[in-house]
Amino acid sequence: MKLLHSVLRTACLCAAALAAPVLFADEETNYDEALAGSYTLPDPLACADGTRVAAPEEWFGKRRPELLEQFQTEMYGVMPGVNRERLAFETLRENPVALDGKAAFKEMRVYFDAPNPAPKLDLLICIPNRAEKPVPAFLIPNFQGNHTVCSDPWISISDNTEAIHTRNVNGEERRGYKKDRYPIETIIDRGYAFVTGFYEDIDPDFDDGRQNGVHSLFAAMEQDVPEESRAATITAWAWGLSRALDALETVPEIDSSRVAVAGHSRLGKTALWAGANDPRFALVISNDSGCGGAALTRRNFGETINTITHGFPHWFCPRYKTYIGRTDELPFDQHELIALIAPRPVYVASASEDLWADPTGEFLSARNADPVYRLLGTEGIGGAGDTPPEADTPVGAIIHYHRRTGKHNITEYDWAQYLDFADRYMTN
């Protein structure tokens, strides 16, 4: 099994789709909607003591803290605190005339345990030159290093030799390798800053018993946390994104009160969890996040707790895998993860051919977060209805959803919707 996990890790940690899922315990993946099963979703407004919140102050004072604690102890692991005396930021260098003068590029380093040089996160910050300052920003972690999101030779090549994606790879050959996923110039033209960092700078994406990356800093903060509920890797990544936001609060050209956190695939899961824990994120975007992200867990469709916890055991705390085969006993489902972001704007997106991520389950999750958003005085998902929309037909209001034609990816179409959404909810 150890060898199998090693093969899985190397094969599947690419940013592309998990196109050939490996099954465990003789489980067969279901892609038939008729076999998705019947289930009853937990009421996001119902408290553990049997009462039901009926006012915003009851949501924030009682139900939300209770629900957040459940997600921490049963799924993602408890979110650690931060030693701000050991947190430091350094501007490494700047290019004021990037993209033919449209943008200023800045490389900033986040030291999580200063003065120690590691662990650290290198940020690429792209700021429009012609926009009024300070500007809103998109913060989105990347899969293979900052140099892969843009072909500009000025951008430093990742020096992370511990990470799966850069090991034994000539960095220069990967320059701009994933630029189609990150339309930086379009984002700049729309008046937004673009900020990214290599996610494995925060915590390398393999199971080593929670020893590497920022996990090395958490031990002192987790002495009173049961082993089975300690911070897993998705929590570590989300924690790192909050530290990136701390850094952006020191950048005068960026309005840190208008930062959208976004992510694709496993990083879509991370964006949702970061947004749930850190209310400073003004807007949250989940792109194809699937199981453990936006998709409902109780549906028997696509990836399941069984497959995800066997393939990627480090993403979740050990408690989560105890729900294999008994998802109806989970005290929550993923619509309540979205509800934890309320009343802030959230965009959930799927792809029509990405059945492994269960697009219908992602829509239903967004749909069933609506009562909390309504309680807090917003339009929620608007008039989206109870069934998924046709492909390439965005629906909703402050909760938004679309199912793009195509495969597991983040595309120009997706970004067009996110920019329009941000224009509506994140510009003055």
| pLDDT range class, residue 309, cuts 50, 70, 90 | very high
54 lies in a domain? no
Chain centroid, CA 344 distance in Å: 15
265 is catalytic: yes
pLDDT of 167: 60
Residue 384 is part of which domain span? Answer: 69-425
Among 110, 100, 116, smallest CA distance to 139 is for 110
pLDDT of 159: 84
pLDDT of 219: 86
pLDDT above 90 (res 131)? no
Taking only the tens place, the pLDDT of each residue in 405-426 is: 999 999 999 999 999 999 999 9
**Mean pLDDT of all residues in the chain?**
92
Taking only the tens place, the pLDDT of each residue in 88-97 is: 999 999 999 9
CATH number, position 382: 3.40.50.1820
Total count of domains within the chain:
1
Q: Considering only the C-alpha atoms of the chain, give the largest distance between any 2 of them, rounded to a whole number of Å.
A: 60
Q: Which of 215, 264, 335, 408 is catalytic?
A: 408
Q: Which two tokens stand for residue 192?
A: 């937004």
76 lies in a domain? yes
- Give the C-alpha separation, 389 to 112, whole Å: 43
21 lies in a domain? no
pLDDT of 282: 98
Taking only the tens place, the pLDDT of each residue in 314-362 is: 999 999 999 999 999 999 999 999 999 999 999 999 999 999 999 999 9
pLDDT of 3: 33
182 lies in a domain? yes
- Give the C-alpha separation, 348 to 335, whole Å: 11
Among 233, 219, 425, smallest CA distance to 341 is for 425
CB 359 within 8 A of CB 411: no
Helix or strand holding residue 128 (H, E): strand 120-128
Helices (H), 211-254: 215-218, 233-248
* Cα-Cα end-to-end distance for the chain: 53
- Residue 318 class from Cβ within 10 Å (0-12 exposed, 13-18 middle, 19+ buried)? middle
| pLDDT range class, residue 17, cuts 50, 70, 90 | very low
Least confident range from 44-58, 152-166, 207-221: namely: 152-166
pLDDT of 166: 63
| pLDDT range class, residue 62, cuts 50, 70, 90 | very high
62 lies in a domain? no
Q: Is the link from the previous residue into 119 a cis peptide, with omega within 30 of 0?
A: yes
pLDDT of 211: 87
pLDDT of 96: 97
pLDDT above 70 (res 11)? no
Phi, psi of 351 (to 5 degrees): -125, 140
- Give the C-alpha separation, 288 to 106, whole Å: 29
pLDDT of 209: 87
pLDDT of 26: 53
pLDDT of 133: 86
Among 291, 283, 274, smallest CA distance to 418 is for 283
pLDDT above 50 (res 23)? no
pLDDT above 80 (res 191)? yes
pLDDT average, residue stretch 210-227: 91
Percent of the chain's residues with pLDDT above 90: 85
pLDDT of 165: 65
Number of C-alpha atoms within 13 angstroms, CB side, residue 145?
25
Q: Give the number of other Cβ atoms within 10 Å of residue 196's Cβ.
A: 24
- Give the C-alpha separation, 293 to 236, whole Å: 15
pTM to 2 decimal places: 0.93
147 is catalytic: no
Among 139, 152, 251, 135, smallest CA distance to 202 is for 139
Taking only the tens place, the pLDDT of each residue in 141-171 is: 999 999 999 999 999 998 887 777 666 556 7
Work out whether strand 283-287 and strand 346-351 pair parallel, antiparallel, or are unpaired.
parallel
Q: Dihedral sign for Cα 367, 371, 376, 379, please.
A: positive
Q: Which of 265, 286, 289, 365 is catalytic?
A: 265
pLDDT above 60 (res 99)? yes
**Helix crossing, 64-71 with 266-277: angle to 10°?**
140
